[in-house]
Amino acid sequence: MSTKEIQQQIVAGMKKWQKIEDATVATTGMIIEKTDNPVVHLVMEIIQRDSQMHYRVQEWIADSLESKTVTLSFDELDRIWSLIEKHIELEKKTVAMAQQSLEAVKGKKMVIQEFLLNYLAEDEKKHNNLLVHLEGIKKGMRATG
Give the C-alpha separation, 85 to 131, whole Å. Answer: 9
Does residue 46 register a pLDDT over 90?
Answer: yes
Cα 127 → chain centroid: 7
Please report, for residues 12, 49, 81, the alpha-carbon distance to residue 124 in angstroms, rounded to integers and kept in the order given: 31, 16, 20
Please tell me the distance from the alpha carbon of residue 94 to that of residue 43, in angstroms, as a whole number. Answer: 20
CA angle 43, 90, 94 (to 5 degrees): 40
pTM above 0.85, yes or no: yes
Q: Model confidence at 35, in pLDDT bands (50, 70, 90)?
A: very high
Model confidence over 69-99: pLDDT tens digits? 888 999 999 999 999 999 999 999 999 999 9
Helix axis angle, 74-105 to 111-144, nearest 10°: 160
As a whole number of angstroms, the distance between CA 115 and CA 108 comes to: 12
Average pLDDT over residues 4-26: 98
